[in-house]
Structure 1
Amino acid sequence: MTDAHQPLDAAQLNAYFALMDVAGLLRHAVEQQLREAGDLSYVQFQLLARLGLDSPTGSERMTDLADGVVYSRSGLTYQAGLLEKAGLITRAPSVDDERGVTVSVTDAGRAVLATVLPGHTDVVRKQLFATLSREDAGVLADLLSPVREHMRSAPPRSARRR
């Protein structure tokens, strides 16, 4: 029997369940805050944050956004449509790829992002970091970073680059 077919040992099971519990509880608290503060879903927040905080131009190709947030392209198109209808983003044909779509954050989108960010930061700080020292947070990042890189090296089919 290969290692892949071995059951998880007690330490692995404890780590797995702890991670899933923490992720689920944190996601619930974050989603609740985003809904109350900005009427946003978590995916919509991710899109606005990637455009408004991570992108120097405030624009990205739709496929790059889907890959970055690990969300299906069709689901992302739907969420982007809701954000566009609310005036928080615009979509336009890509200048680099005739089949591609470029998504840009609007001033209204930046304003919503600025409205939800303080509460978002507060929830993350209280839920995730309240019981961790700075050193613990560094250790957690060091532990999770290679796992994230490993998992992102083989993203879900719906999020793979074309």
Structure 2
Amino acid sequence: MPPRELPPGASAYFALLEVSALLHHELEQQAREDAGITFVQFQILAALSEHPEGSRTMTDVADQIVHSRSGLTYQAQKLEEAGYLTRGPAPGDERSTMATLTPAGREVLAGVLPGHLGVVRELFLDPLATEDTDELTRVLDLVRTHMRGRPPRSAARRSRRPETK
């Protein structure tokens, strides 16, 4: 039986998957070596640092980094135990939880960020010419805008598991 031909665009998709996996692996290793944190923990700290107060709701962070709420809660707990963030009720909405970056969290992020950017530059940006980077940014912005136009994951209903007896 002859191999099936891929539909248009499938090669780009598979290349994106492989590049993402290779880059993620290296960034995971770098975060662990430089700061003893996971890549997801790095993403959480980075998401919090983007706000001047260093505070966001856990739901906002989960939506930004596209991580499950339960997984984010676990990772945030580890970061809180390390002293890198604090969690508490959101002002005006006690159902929401706020995560706030601590000075120690800012310090660990500042320590891991240069290595993170170095890995990104070496593996992802160095092989590209400036015009390639500009075009890739343009294309990825189109796709990201399209994908972010959908309701955030936090707006999706949670699936209920059937009860076992």
Both proteins in one fold, TM over 0.5:
yes
CA distance in 2, matches of 1:18, 1:99: 41
CA distance in 2, matches of 1:79, 1:17: 29
Corresponding residue of 2:38: 41
Larger helix percent: 1
**SS of aligned partner of 2:128:** coil
Corresponding residue of 1:66: 62
CA distance in 2, matches of 1:13, 1:61: 36
- Which of 150, 155, 159 is the matching residue for 1:161? 155
Corresponding residue of 1:117: 113
1:155, distance to aligned residue in structure 2 (A): 5.9
> Which shows bigger deviation, 58-67 or 141-150?
141-150
CA distance in 1, matches of 2:61, 2:70: 12
CA distance in 2, matches of 1:161, 1:149: 18
Check whether the contact 1:63–1:161 (CA below 8 A) recurs between aligned residues. Answer: no
- Which of 17, 20, 34 is the matching residue for 1:20? 17
CA distance in 1, matches of 2:51, 2:75: 19
**SS of aligned partner of 1:128:** helix
- Matched residue type, 1:45: F
Corresponding residue of 2:101: 105
- Matched residue type, 2:120: V
1:145 aligns with 2:141: yes
- Matched residue type, 2:63: D
- Gaps in structure 1 of 5+ consecutive residues: 1-6
- Matched residue type, 1:115: G
Check whether the contact 1:67–1:161 (CA below 8 A) recurs between aligned residues. Answer: no
- Gaps in structure 2 of 5+ consecutive residues: 157-165
Check whether the contact 2:59–2:154 (CA below 8 A) recurs between aligned residues. Answer: no
Check whether the contact 1:70–1:155 (CA below 8 A) recurs between aligned residues. Answer: no
RMSD: 1.6
Distance 1:95 1:79, change over 3 A: same
CA distance in 2, matches of 1:66, 1:114: 22
- Which of 110, 134, 150 is the matching residue for 2:130? 134
1:93 aligns with 2:70: no
